[in-house]
Homo-oligomer: A and B are copies of this chain.
Amino acid sequence: MAVHCGRLALRTRGDADVLDITDGVEAVLRTCEIQVGTVVAFVTGSTAALTTMEYEPGGVTDLRALLDMLVPARADWSHNERNHDSNAHAHLRAALIGPSESIPFVDGRLVLGTWQQLVLVDFDDRPRDRVVTVQVHG
C-alpha cells in the first residue's frame, strides 16, 4: 500500500563489468518495513542493463564471452559511423537484455534463489557512474 524510492550510485569499469547489486537493493527494501510487494530496479542510460544470474567468476566470464560472440564490438555498426562513436555494441547488448528487473518480496525478503543475484552489467567501453533507481511497491 506504499511506494518507497531509493537510489544506488555505482562506479563501473565498463567493458561488460558485472556488479552484484543484490545487497544494495535489499538495504533499500529493509528501510521500508513492508513485508510483501515488488521491488523494481532500473538502470538509467542506454549502455547498461540489469538481469539476474549466479554471480560467480565462471558465469561472469561466460556472459562476457557470449556477448562478444553474439554482438561483437568490432563490426561496421551504423551508430559508430554516424556518431563518430565506438560503443554501438554496448547499446545493442543493453537493448537486448533490458534496463529493469521486477522482483517480488515475501516476509520482507526478495524471492531470489540462493545462487541468483541481481546484477548490473555495464557494456559501455569506458568507466561510468551509474544510478540504479529502486522502487518498492507494497
Known contacts: A37-B3, A46-B115, A135-B37. The answer to whether A78 contacts B98 by CB under 8 A is no
Once the chains are docked, how many angstroms separate the CA of A22 from the CA of B95? 15
CA distance A97 to B8 in the complex (A): 24
A40 to B102, CA, bound (A): 7
**CB nearest neighbor in B for A4:** B36
Contact between chains at B78 and A92 (CB < 8 Å): no
Q: Which of B2, B61, B100, B103 sits near A103, CB closer than 8 Å? A: B100
A71 to B77, CA, bound (A): 18
From 43 to 75 in chain A, residues with beta carbon under 8 angstroms from any chain B beta carbon are: 44-46, 51-54, 56-59, 61-63, 65-66, 70-71
Are B51 and A92 in touch, CB under 8 angstroms?
no
Q: How far is the CA of A112 from the CA of B138 in the complex (A)?
A: 23
A40-B38, A53-B94, A95-B53 as given contacts; A133 in contact with B113, CB under 8 Å = no
Write the residues of chain A forming the contact surface with B, with a CB cutoff of 8 angstroms: 1-3, 5, 36-38, 40, 42, 44-46, 51-54, 56-59, 61-63, 65-66, 70-71, 77-83, 88, 91-92, 94-104, 106, 111-113, 115-116, 131, 133, 135, 137-138
